[in-house]
Structure 1
């Protein structure tokens, strides 16, 4: 049976750290799966393909991530760049889903 994952402040070995990172990566993937589920819902709900790309909403999401990162003392600019890529990937995914559900 797998040992319990230790929180960062109580890690004693690199094995502890690596186990925590791996578990966190799996949890992030689960959250991304949920996020992309919302993209599938958006593709189903939006009647107009042009509504998929919303630059105002994109800027809002990235700014929210930047602000949250700043408040947590994380590298805000770099995380905003990651969020920009995440949003672009999400838009591409949503466009694909939108198109695939409306084929003749």
Structure 2
């Protein structure tokens, strides 16, 4: 729930509070992404376009349920997924001791 802030400092304090919650969740997500790399037989399997589109559709619906702009959430998620694809590709290379 978003509380009414009385000044910019309060807004920033609340954003900082949320960031302290978001970063550990992203770190946890990264741990699962790392595990996913181990289950994939090829580096090409790291990019699963159908899974990406399913995630985007799901989070767009979640955004609407929260009265949030689904386009903003989609952009955030696509950027995050792109970053995790790079991360997972590196993990895949490390796990499978492959050379690029």
TM-score by length of 1: 0.82
Higher Cα radius of gyration: 1
- State the superposition RMSD in angstroms: 1.7
Superposed structure 1 runs of 4+ greater than 6 Å apart: none
Ranges in structure 1 where 5+ consecutive residues have no aligned partner: 1-6
How far apart in 2 are the matches of 1:84 and 1:25?
Answer: 19
**Contact 1:8/1:17 (<8 A) preserved:** no
The structure showing larger relative contact order (alpha-carbon pairs under 8 Å, at least 6 residues apart) is 2
TM-score by length of 2: 0.85
> Paired residue for 1:98?
92
How far apart in 1 are the matches of 2:24 and 2:46?
Answer: 23
Aligned length: 98
Question: Is 2:10 the counterpart of 1:16?
Answer: yes
